[in-house]
Structure 1
Amino acid sequence: MDKPPPSDALALIERKNEIQGEFWRLRPACPACERAMTVRDGPHGEFWGCPGYPKCKKTEALSLEFREKREEVRKLVGRKPPFF
């Protein structure tokens, strides 16, 4: 497999970094304790969960915009983003 030319690789890295910054903007704060929520995986799929669990049990559904951005990163890097 050939490596992409340096200019293509740089453009790919810049786009990944841009999308990663958008991830942080899409991350909600817990309505109960104001901590930045994290993606959790449960028996019924993924959701936003408070990192203060078990003290704080607040959850929210993942937004469509967040799922679309994550899918775009998966296509760019060929796997699930390591930062979520």
Structure 2
Amino acid sequence: MSDGGSDTGFHAGAVNIKFNPKTVARLFAENFERPETRISAAAINASAEYLRIFTREAIWRTANEIDASGQKKRTMEASDLEKVAGTLVLDF
């Protein structure tokens, strides 16, 4: 499917995902062992882009999994995402 869409009505290509760099920076800061640890703006922006791609891929794979199972549902649930989580994490 060239547009990232699927028969279920999920269209990963139409999903506008953005991660606020300030939020990403806060996630890093909350998990640093030493409070004086710093991260560059370029690294934060690259991490935000990585999260965007990862999330979009998760949505796309989940939509394809729903299509392959023959389900005709229009909402994704955590259990749907869990089905693709293993291979998704291994691929990234």
Q: TM-score, normalised by structure 2?
A: 0.42
Structure of higher RCO (CA pairs closer than 8 Å, 6+ residues apart): 2
Larger relative strand fraction: 1
Instruction: Select the structure that is richer in helix.
Output: 2
